[in-house]
Amino acid sequence: MSSLTTNHRLLIDGQLRAATGGATFDNINPTTGQVAGTAPDATAADGEEALSAARRAFDETDWANDVALRVRVLRQLDDALRAHEQELTEITVTEVGAPLGSCATVQVHEPLAVVEWFANLAESYDWSTDLGVRDTMGGPARRWIEREPIGVVAAITPWNVPNHINIAKVVPALAAGCTVVLKPAPETPWTGLALGQLFAEHTDLPAGVLNVVTAADKKFGAFLTTDPRVDLISFTGSTETGRRIMAAAAENLTKVFLELGGKSVHLILEDVADMGLAAAFAAIGTGVVAGQGCALTTRVLIPQARYEEGVQQIAAMMSTITVGDPADAATVMGPLITAAQRDRVEGYVQGAVDQGATIVCGGKRPADLDSGFFYEPTLLAGVTNQMTAAQEEIFGPVLVAIPYADDDEAVAIANDSIYGLSGAIFSDDPAHALAVAKRIRTGTMSINGGVWYAPDVPFGGYKQSGLGREMGLAGFEEHLEIKSYSEPAS
Ligand code: ADP
């Protein structure tokens, strides 16, 4: 056994190993902009070996049928993750630039509960449903349904919350009886490799059931989207890449399960007397993972008559967000993931200004941080929903404030988006909040600051925010096929 933080290896067919030929690529620490270390740069042959191992493990072992083994393996993983939480945190701080506070919650700690929840679900799940006897056209028949794992899952994951998303893809798939090839993002290879290592070193996972391959080429996983040996493509990333993956999967009609982009609203209703709480949530939501989260609320809708008041309160809260070294416990917001991502964010802010928006706060790199990819939490006012910054996913700490006249207009603005992933609504009247929330076409909705993230809550989007739901019972059943049986009844 070796440290999770220093020895990063692929997991292929039960073996922790280097890429064929020993090639590696640099893992850049976004806080410093410097190389933190390397990860294996898998070859096409490594990818082929990983996929054929997953196929073989599904077709030729008892994994798909042995629920007790799966539950045992997941409980072993749960123990291993908890024992290694500190190292996972260290990795996440280093390669994601995630502040310690976010590691204690969504990045590392909260996802641990996902493992136990799915182990319990697999153990108690009704794999079979009796439909009883019926007089069919062939005479009386006893009919029943069995739920079976769909097969080999290609899990392709992004860099923003990698530990959570790797777990949220791999664990339900394994609990369901699938085998998996996990392809993490090249920006954050170590979290995925650590997950593979924990399975390999601390559980009874049979060889080939989980394979983890990392590569410098961001399109390395494309072979998984066209290969008929893959039964389900489970992808989280941008809507643009999701479209490409769905088009590739169409060739074999491979099932796709997509968690894509968002441009969610944070709606402050007119009846909110004190906007302080709503303003605080709006501001802090912008700083979480430096705004690089698909489910963050990035359009705040403020009643026209109180627009100035709302904008000023949010700006005041935003200015309290401490930006800096994620390893410092006082830091709320770390860097963006890459220089390219920061360039992209800067381009969106400049574009908004060119279209007539004003920068209320932020809109620049912090003067006191001269290394790494930092950008200040930014609030843009004077924004209309037609502006590019209100329509496109910026994936940075940028909030746009849009005024609205009444509930109908607020709902129309909220729904005037290609996305429908998440949302938040604030009201002094919960019934009013719920009535408006029901009209917004989105997959999750927080009322007055309620947190929906939990293992039993399905997460996913309407419209171009995706297909299917991750986590919860719905997320588990994405990995199952239904087989219907009948036999003559006497
Ligand atoms: P970003 O633009 O921030 O890199 P993406 O949505 O493109 O976000 O990436 C999410 C994941 O999808 C990453 O693991 C990336 O390497 C992978 N990826 C990107 N393009 C493709 C593709 N054409 N086929 C398969 N995987 C892809």
CB of 195 within 6 A of ligand 1: the answer is no
Whether 5 maps to a domain, the answer reads no
- Mean pLDDT for the stretch of residues 192-217: 98
The reported pLDDT for the residue numbered 490 is 82
Whether 4 maps to a domain, the answer reads no
Residues 277 and 174 in one domain: no
Compute the distance from residue 355 Cα to the ligand 1 centre, in Å: 30
The three-state (H, E, C) secondary structure of the chain, written as one string? CCCCCCCCCEEECCEEECCHHHCEEEEEECCCCEEEEEEECCCHHHHHHHHHHHHHHHHHCCCCCCHHHHHHHHHHHHHHHHHCHHHHHHHHHHHHCCCHHHHHHHHCHHHHHHHHHHHHHHHHCCCEEEEEEEEECCEEEEEEEEEEECCEEEEECCCCCHHHHHHHHHHHHHHHCCEEEEECCCCCHHHHHHHHHHHHHHCCCCCCCEEECCCCCCCCCHHHHHCCCCCEEEEECCHHHHHHHHHHHHCCCCEEEEECCCCEEEEECCCCCCCHHHHHHHHHHHHHHHHCCCCCEEEEEEEHHHHHHHHHHHHHHHCCCCECCCCCCCCCECCCCCHHHHHHHHHHHHHHHHCCCEEEECCCCCCCCCCCCCCCCEEEECCCCCCHHHHCCCCCCEEEEEEECCHHHHHHHHHCCCEECCEEEECCCHHHHHHHHCCCCCCCCEECCCCCCCCCCCECCEECCEECCECHHHHHHCCEEEEEEEEECC
Pocket test for ligand 1, best of 95, 96, 156 (most atoms within 8 A of CB): 156
- At residue 7 the predicted structure's pLDDT band, cuts being 50, 70 and 90, is very high
Residues 151 and 192 in one domain: yes
Pocket test for ligand 1, best of 25, 188, 240, 241 (most atoms within 8 A of CB): 241
Residues 365 and 394 in one domain: yes
Compute the distance from residue 88 Cα to the ligand 1 centre, in Å: 23
The reported pLDDT for the residue numbered 83 is 98
Compute the distance from residue 184 Cα to the ligand 1 centre, in Å: 9
Kindly name the residue from 103, 178, 294, 361 that is annotated as catalytic: 294
CB of 439 within 6 A of ligand 1: the answer is no
CB of 157 within 6 A of ligand 1: the answer is yes
Residues 218 and 274 in one domain: no
Whether 116 maps to a domain, the answer reads yes
- Mean pLDDT for the stretch of residues 109-136: 98
CB of 39 within 6 A of ligand 1: the answer is no
Compute the distance from residue 219 Cα to the ligand 1 centre, in Å: 6
The reported pLDDT for the residue numbered 2 is 58
What's the rounded Cα separation, in Å, for the pair 398 and 359? 10
Residues 178 and 286 in one domain: no
Residues 123 and 271 in one domain: no
CB of 185 within 6 A of ligand 1: the answer is yes
* Predicted TM-score of the model (pTM): 0.98
Whether 318 maps to a domain, the answer reads yes
Residues 132 and 218 in one domain: yes
292: pLDDT strictly greater than 60: yes
- Mean pLDDT for the stretch of residues 416-436: 98
pLDDT tens per residue across span 267-287: 999 999 999 999 999 999 999
Whether 481 maps to a domain, the answer reads yes
pLDDT tens per residue across span 295-349: 999 999 999 999 999 999 999 999 999 999 999 999 999 999 999 999 999 999 9
407: pLDDT strictly greater than 90: yes
CB of 245 within 6 A of ligand 1: the answer is yes
Q: Which atom of ligand 1 is nearest to the CA of 156?
A: 14
The reported pLDDT for the residue numbered 388 is 98
Q: Nearest 5°: phi and psi at 130? A: -85, 125
CB of 212 within 6 A of ligand 1: the answer is no
CB of 244 within 6 A of ligand 1: the answer is yes
1: pLDDT strictly greater than 70: no
Whether 31 maps to a domain, the answer reads yes
Residue 178 falls in the annotated catalytic set: no
420: pLDDT strictly greater than 70: yes
Phi-psi category of 180—alpha, beta or left, where left has phi over 0 and alpha has psi -120 to 50?
Answer: beta
The reported pLDDT for the residue numbered 133 is 98
- Mean pLDDT for the stretch of residues 474-480: 98
Residues 269 and 251 in one domain: no
Instruction: Assign residue 217 the CATH number of its domain.
Output: 3.40.605.10
Quote the number of domains for the chain: 2
Compute the distance from residue 244 Cα to the ligand 1 centre, in Å: 10
CB of 165 within 6 A of ligand 1: the answer is no
Residues 283 and 364 in one domain: yes
Determine which residue's CA is closest to atom 2 belonging to ligand 1.
238
Residue 477 falls in the annotated catalytic set: no
Residues 290 and 216 in one domain: no
Residues 149 and 294 in one domain: no
- At residue 142 the predicted structure's pLDDT band, cuts being 50, 70 and 90, is very high
Q: Which atom of ligand 1 is nearest to the CA of 395?
A: 3
Residues 326 and 223 in one domain: no
Whether 461 maps to a domain, the answer reads no
173: containing domain? 10-260+466-486
- Mean pLDDT for the stretch of residues 145-166: 98
Compute the distance from residue 80 Cα to the ligand 1 centre, in Å: 29
Whether 201 maps to a domain, the answer reads yes
Instruction: Assign residue 385 the CATH number of its domain.
Output: 3.40.309.10
Determine which residue's CA is closest to atom 25 belonging to ligand 1.
222
pLDDT tens per residue across span 12-61: 999 999 999 999 999 999 999 999 999 999 999 999 999 999 999 999 99
